[in-house]
Structure 1
Amino acid sequence: MRKPPAISGSGMKHVILRALAAIAALAVPASASAQEIFGGVYAHAVDTPFTLDTTESGTLDIAAGIRFGRIDALDFIGSPAPYVVGNLNTDGYTSFVGGGLAWTIGDGPVYVRPGIGMVVHDAPEFRVNPETGYRTDLGSRVLFEPEIGVGYRLTDRASVEAHWMHISQGQIFDGEQNPGIDMIGARMNWRL
């Protein structure tokens, strides 16, 4: 019996991202309609108080996603809007796909958009910093993804945001470690 051809690390990353994107798209209820699309560029692995060193350098990420209509049944927590997001690192470091809920606060030209989600990533399951001997893997394949953006509405349909995303497991899935990765950048939103 012949073995299937080996897939390179880069090829595997693309296979995983495509499969996860397809699963995320199928998970969105058919009755939900997309309200907004967004995309942006981010500095990857920015050093902030929320992260520990993962040995990933500050490279470039490209993110894109879809935001759906607000969930009126959740009006007791502000009727958040569900979103699906994918983030691809251009240098082969950690990429992820997932979804969550976001709130838009402010009706004027300036607004704030906090959100919380869950993502699945493709970083190594086990990684150690050779200089320190400390583990630098993310501790779990599934991570939390808090985010916040401060935006400006350019038109009725277009807006721009300064945006921060963070991924980590919050020591819930592995109590001995909690490296995380912060991405900071700019995002463009287009209302459909």
Structure 2
Amino acid sequence: MRRTLLTLSTLGLLAGTASADLLEEVRFGVLQHNICVQDCNNADKEDGPNINGELVFKSPNFLSIIWSPRPYVMGSANTAGNTSFGAVGLTWDWEFADGWSLELGEGYAIHSGELESPFPQGDPRGDAFTEKHVLLGSRDLFRTSFGLNYEFSDSWGGQILYEHLSHGQIIGSGRNQGLDNLGVRVIYKFGG
């Protein structure tokens, strides 16, 4: 619970100090933690939903060469004390109908979860440990996200969000069980 409050307080502080000229959106929501998408052997090992908050900034001019993605900073705190993380990255939006858009995000995350089992191979305590913990293999992870957004008004919107965290054997090696989260968020747009 302390991690959740710390994450939300930090995002609130960042939102309060960020220039109104730069900050475009604030997002808060709840995501089901570690769902089954492809490899269900590692799904549901950790309990508790994640409380998620994100600040999205206006796209700087120099990013127009890559279709003007918007920078973000986010935090996700697990309510059961399992893997929490923070990330920074870029997000691209494509409006496909009036009020509806698809969003793709790519970023870099640092997490508080387990990397490897602390017990040697063959130790029965290791089996019990790996039954309850996702072994992420690297403190650094990629964060890939997909969102379906809907505008309720000029200022308010909603989002269904899927996110995947993994090191992909690129920024880490060894274990790479990854995490998949799915949930909903509320979006507040400044200047709406």
TM range (shorter): 0.7 to 0.9
The 5 A counterparts of 1:134-149 are 136-149=134-147
The percent of aligned pairs where both chains have the same amino acid is 26
The alignment partner of 1:100 has SS state of: strand
1:125 maps onto 2:115 in alignment: yes
Report how many aligned residue pairs link the two structures.
176
Q: State the alpha-carbon separation in 2 of the partners of residues 103 and 51 from structure 1.
A: 29
Q: Is the alpha carbon distance of 1:29 and 1:94 closer, same or farther for their aligned partners in structure 2, counting shifts above 3 Å? A: same
Offset, 1:142:
1.1
TM-score by length of 2: 0.78
Paired residue for 2:102, among 98, 105, 112?
112
Question: What is the aligned partner in structure 1 of residue 59 from structure 2?
Answer: 70
Q: Which moved more, 1:102-111 or 1:123-132?
A: 123-132
Are the equivalent residues in 2 in contact too, given 1:96–1:122 (CA < 8 A)? yes
Question: Which of structure 1's runs of 4+ aligned residues deviate more than 4 A?
Answer: 28-32, 131-136
Are the equivalent residues in 2 in contact too, given 1:81–1:102 (CA < 8 A)? yes
Offset, 1:133:
6.9
Gap runs ≥5 in structure 2: 119-125
Q: Which moved more, 1:142-151 or 1:171-180?
A: 171-180
Q: Which moved more, 1:138-147 or 1:124-133?
A: 124-133
The 5 A counterparts of 1:40-51 are 40-49=29-38
Show CA shifts across 1:98-147 (max 9, x none).
21100111172110011011111111232376169799421111110000
Are the equivalent residues in 2 in contact too, given 1:52–1:179 (CA < 8 A)? no
Amino acid at match of 2:110: V
Are the equivalent residues in 2 in contact too, given 1:51–1:180 (CA < 8 A)? no
The alignment partner of 1:172 has SS state of: coil
Question: What is the aligned partner in structure 2 of residue 33 from structure 1?
Answer: 22
Q: State the alpha-carbon separation in 2 of the partners of residues 163 and 44 from structure 1.
A: 12
Q: State the alpha-carbon separation in 1 of the partners of residues 130 and 28 from structure 2.
A: 37
Question: What is the aligned partner in structure 1 of residue 152 from structure 2?
Answer: 154
Offset, 1:188:
0.8
Amino acid at match of 2:92: W
Offset, 1:71:
2.2
Amino acid at match of 1:119: A
Q: State the alpha-carbon separation in 1 of the partners of residues 4 and 156 from structure 2.
A: 30
Amino acid at match of 1:78: W
Q: Is the alpha carbon distance of 1:121 and 1:133 closer, same or farther for their aligned partners in structure 2, counting shifts above 3 Å? A: closer
Q: State the alpha-carbon separation in 2 of the partners of residues 166 and 137 from structure 1.
A: 14
1:184 maps onto 2:174 in alignment: no
Q: State the alpha-carbon separation in 2 of the partners of residues 98 and 133 from structure 1.
A: 25
